[in-house]
Structure 1
Amino acid sequence: MALDLLKMRYFAKIAELGSFTRASSELGVAQPALSLHMRGLEEQLGVQLLNRTPRGVTATEAGQTLLSHAQAILRALDQAEAATKEQAKYPTGDVSLGILSSICPTLSVPVIEECSRRFPKIRLTVSEGDSQALRAAIDTRVHDLAVTLDSVAKATSVPLFDETLYLVGPFGQLSPDAEVTVEQVLGMPLIMPTRRHGIRILLERQALIFGREMNVVREIEGVASTKAAIRAGLGLSILGRGAVHDDRAKGTLSAVVLTRPGLTRRLVLDMPVNHPPTRAAIEVQKILLAVVRKLGAEGHWSCTLRAT
């Protein structure tokens, strides 16, 4: 029969203090009730645990044996309680966050900074990748969270924001006030990713609508390599605002918003299904959503995320 933890706690306090009266005062339990609990514990174990004398109580040999085990058990329980409360206040653990490469520089730094400030015991790892790689990482639970394109994410994903697409060229080649239509862009010398990428798929659909062929002069995987090729004068490209914001500000690339129609792509927060998130992952998710809203208010994108 399992020992009653409450009775063990009462017994340990009585044995440690050597007095039913003092134990009653510290525990806030009436002395007759303590006596009843101790008799029940001794009957359960079939052995006398306490020697009762006019000057107090002392533990018998059997009582000393139980006391040593009881103290270890109760200490472990107290430590478990303290650790659990600490976890609730300061969550710990590893969290892996994947972010689409083109927006990772914009989004990752404020998320990392806020997480470090608020939850220093969370070990946050941020990885960038293309939408297909991020989807695979979510499916295999390599990532706990991923900011990716809605075209590859699960139906359970959370919409975050719509990002405007730009025609991007070498610095000085495109006037920010110029009006460039999607149909005009299709005939320009374009540097594009392969057909599995979201922007390429979007442009291919527009080509079908206009009955035009895309003039893809080079296929390059990777945003950094694409921008380097643009700066080298090897062609133009279509990139999201996050990929070119700093370059426009620094004067290393020029960009203009596409018109007729204006093109955007929706980014979402994707997570593994049938796999409850840890407390640490939940807190990182909250930080991520707050950063998305803040950057949206600053004009980086049009938020689709509902305020909570």
Structure 2
Amino acid sequence: MDELPSIQQLENFILYGKYRNFTAAAKAANITQSAFSFQMKKMEELVGVQLITRSNRGSDLTEAGEQFLQQVTAVMQELEQSLYDLRSRHSETVTVTVGTMLSLGDVLMNRHLAYFQKYHREIVLSVYNLEARQLLEELSQDRVDIISTFYLPQMDITGYEKVLVCKDELVYYAPRLDISGTRVTAKEAASQPLAQYSPQYLMNLYLEQYFAGQTSTALQVQAWFSTPYAIMQYCQQNRIGAVLPRRFLQAMGVVHGWYELDPQIQVPCYLLYKRQNPKYAQIQIFIEYIRTTYHLDPDSLT
């Protein structure tokens, strides 16, 4: 029998098919570009067909390469599903890895963890808190099974299964500032010192764009933080304001010191996952629980 390509070669070929670039694919595979190129060349020798064209202008799949990519992807997915099914039959629990946004906080996820520990002992939820860009990267690389994230205009979520959980309202939180009424305009909020998310966060960019579109007043950002917990605590100790999710503040038991923004900010919150994930059945159990928790209409499961 002729020698067959290795699993690693096939996985890396799928990575190449995703990026169509040796440098990017090698980085995703966590090996050097020369090692990656050698693997692809060796695989072409084994199958006896040129799969990738190479020139000074770059590289791409040949027609045969495109066809082989589709077949290999289907085979690898079937293999992963078979291995997962085998392991599941000989294991009492299945771990579903969930990623949540740092800018939303994990206080709500703790409630979900407690529920699954009590009512779904066959499923173990493992939770990671990451920034939006990192969440999408982890999901694309199959390092998490499902993510809970705000949808911000800078995010590309095409190609993923998605469930609209809710539309979170962002409010102005300033418990130590003297503010009358229940609403604050964007201009009023911008005129006060502001605690903001870390500069590299998409949420930080989103809020900067919101204020820029509503007022010419320059933001007076005095502190940057990586979590809403840190922002909330800083506002409780200093005469400063911040924009935080109302759902987060309510979950933390905060009933005073926050104000509706004018104009209002509502950000959709989605669950994103891949349909071809071998844990699809367990993911659906989690989604059904979330759907019931937030009283979602089945039509939102799109």
Q: Aligned AA for 1:139?
A: S
Stretches of structure 1 that go unaligned for 5 or more consecutive residues are 1-82, 295-302
2:302 is equivalent to residue 291 of structure 1: no
Q: CA deviation at 1:145?
A: 0.7
Residue equivalent to 1:266: 268
Q: CA deviation at 1:237?
A: 0.6
Q: Aligned AA for 1:216?
A: V
SS at match of 1:213: coil
2:229 is equivalent to residue 218 of structure 1: no
CA RMSD, aligned part only? 3.2
1:172-194 deviation per Cα after TM superposition (whole angstroms, max 9, x unaligned): 7445x332111221221101113
2:279 is equivalent to residue 277 of structure 1: yes
Q: 1:240 to 1:143 in 2, by over 3 A?
A: same
2:300 is equivalent to residue 306 of structure 1: yes
Q: Aligned AA for 2:96?
A: V
Q: CA deviation at 1:134?
A: 1.7
Q: 1:182 to 1:147 in 2, by over 3 A?
A: same
Stretches of structure 2 that go unaligned for 5 or more consecutive residues are 1-84
Q: CA deviation at 1:132?
A: 2.2
Q: Is the 8 A contact 1:149 1:198 kept in 2?
A: no
Residue equivalent to 1:150: 151
Q: 1:233 to 1:304 in 2, by over 3 A?
A: farther
Q: Is the 8 A contact 2:174 2:239 kept in 1?
A: no
Residue equivalent to 2:259: 256
CA distance in 2, matches of 1:179, 1:278: 43
Q: Aligned AA for 1:220?
A: F
2:246 is equivalent to residue 244 of structure 1: no
Tell which structure's C-alpha radius of gyration is larger.
1
Q: 1:230 to 1:150 in 2, by over 3 A?
A: same
1:143-176 deviation per Cα after TM superposition (whole angstroms, max 9, x unaligned): 111101212351233322111111111357445x
Q: Is the 8 A contact 1:191 1:220 kept in 2?
A: yes
2:176 is equivalent to residue 182 of structure 1: no
Q: Is the 8 A contact 2:176 2:238 kept in 1?
A: no
CA distance in 1, matches of 2:223, 2:136: 26
TM-score with structure 2 length normalisation? 0.60
Q: Is the 8 A contact 2:97 2:125 kept in 1?
A: yes
Q: CA deviation at 1:91?
A: 8.2
1:117-162 deviation per Cα after TM superposition (whole angstroms, max 9, x unaligned): 3321212212223222222221222211110121235123332211
User: Which of 218, 234, 245 pairs up with 1:229?
Assistant: 234
1:243-297 deviation per Cα after TM superposition (whole angstroms, max 9, x unaligned): 21145x456x6111111x1111111111146534332222122222222338xxx
Identity %: 14
